[in-house]
Each structure stands twice: as C-alpha cells, then as structure tokens.
C-alpha cells in the first residue's frame, strides 16, 4: 500500500498569494466529489520576516521562521511540500535539509510548463524581486536552452515592481496592477515574447487590472499547483 499523500503548503508570503495558490490547487485537480480533491495542510503565517528586506541587508533573515513552518508541516504529516513564494526559494537548500518531506521547486515546475510549449519563445522577460533576479535560477535554466532573458532595470524595480508588489500585500490590487502592467509593458517593449511572473503577487495584481497580455505569461504559482495536482493524481 502506498504512503498517504498530504501536501504541505508553506505560505504567508504573502497571505493572499497563499489563498490564491489554494484555489489554484482546487482548479488544477479534476474531481467529481470532495473526496477526489487534493488533501493539504497549510501554514499561512504572514509574520515571517520580509524576504526582500532580508536579501537587501535591511532586515532579519526569515530562515528561522521558515524552518518553523517546515517543521510544523512535517509534524502534520506532509508527504510533499510546496512554497508558493519565489523569493523564499533563496533558502531552499536549508529548508530541504530541515525537512523529511521533499520540497518541490517552483522554478523546476515552471520550466516544465515552458518546455511543453509547441514553439518555445526566444526571448523571455522575468518579473521578480531583486532577490529572485540576483539568485539567477530562472536565467540559468533559460540560458541553458538558448533563450534570451530580459530583466527589469533598477529604475523599473524601484518605480513599478516594488511599490506594485507591496500594494498587493496591503490589498490595493488595482493600484498594484496598474504599476505591474507598466513593468510588463516595458519588458515587452524591449523584445520579450513571453513573461515569467516570478513573484506570486504579480498574477493576482495583473488579473485585477484585467491585463490583456496574460495569455503571454508563464505563472510559476500555477505551474507549481499543476505539479502538485499531478503528484496527487498519480498517487
């Protein structure tokens, strides 16, 4: 008999992104009744120290709180763990060491979706925090496939991305969406054919803004939800 399946979700980064991810899990799972839906336990504790500030050297490390969440999910019996926050993957190795359950990687899930494209884009823009961009996870995997990467400029991050992201965190979705639409348009204007929305607040804001270019984007949160659902269906 196979081991029980229980997805652990390390959330709270931010809380709305975690709620959005839970809805994505539901939508990604073909089910005719309650009992066929993916079982999960969620650690949605938003008091985790700010990841962007930590990586900028202006705030404390969130690692102790992240490990606490991972520990609680393991104690709850999680068989797999997903983290619907790109920047938190900066601490992926340390969290994996602290976890008995394997932690799925959001970048791997995203690239798996990109690789299913009938025609791969030649130029991909990335909307992400400075920490995610500096880590280079997406850039390295895209470059390995000879895909050109287009990143936000420092000015764009300061004027559009960061305030847009924090607007979502305080619930001002339309305000955040307007700023993040400008960030996306700037990447398209510099030649991006598709965008990776590598911050889980970004798709929420762009949907609130009714951005017309959403079909030209890859959503890591959606890719991660699909991967979780595939594991559940396989189970």
Which residues are designated catalytic? 85, 199
User: What distances in angstroms separate CA 47 from CA 11, 33, 64, 131, one per listed residue?
Assistant: 10, 35, 12, 19
Is the Cβ–Cβ distance between 183 and 165 less than 8 Å? no
CA atoms of 235 and 5, how far apart (whole Å): 7
Q: Which of 125, 45, 40, 137 is nearest to 86 (CA)?
A: 137
Burial class for 19, CB neighbours closer than 10 Å (0-12, 13-18, 19+): middle
Least Cα distance to 52 among 88, 18, 82, 11 occurs for: 88
Consecutive H or E run containing 186: helix 173-189
For the stretch 174-177, contacts whose Cβ atoms lie closer than 8 Å and that sit 24 or more positions apart, written own/partner, are: 174/208, 174/209, 176/201, 176/205, 176/208, 177/205, 177/206, 177/207, 177/208, 177/209, 177/211
């Amino acid at each position: 008999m196979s081991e029980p399946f229980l997805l652990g979700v390390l959330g709270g980064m931010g809380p709305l992104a975690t709620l959005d991810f839970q809805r994505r899990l539901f939508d990604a799972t073909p089910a005719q009744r309650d009992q066929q839906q993916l079982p999960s336990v969620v650690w949605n504790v938003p008091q985790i120290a700010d990841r962007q500030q930590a990586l900028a050297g202006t705030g404390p490390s969130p690692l102790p709180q992240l490990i606490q969440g991972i520990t609680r999910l393991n104690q709850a019996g999680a068989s797999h763990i997903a983290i619907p926050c790109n920047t938190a993957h900066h601490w992926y190795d340390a969290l994996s060491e602290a976890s008995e359950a394997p932690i799925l990687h959001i970048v791997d899930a995203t690239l798996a979706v990109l690789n299913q494209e009938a025609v791969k884009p030649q130029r991909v823009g990335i909307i992400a925090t400075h920490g995610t961009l500096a880590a280079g996870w997406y850039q390295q995997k895209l470059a390995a496939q000879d895909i050109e990467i287009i990143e936000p400029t420092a000015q764009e991050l300061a004027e559009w991305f960061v305030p847009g992201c924090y607007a979502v965190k305080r619930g001002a979705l339309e305000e955040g969406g307007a700023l993040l639409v400008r960030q996306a348009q700037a990447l398209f204007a510099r030649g991006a054919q598709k965008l990776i929305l590598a911050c889980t607040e970004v798709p929420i804001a762009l949907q609130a803004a009714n951005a017309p270019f959403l079909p030209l984007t890859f959503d890591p949160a959606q890719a991660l939800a699909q991967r979780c659902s595939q594991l559940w269906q396989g189970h």
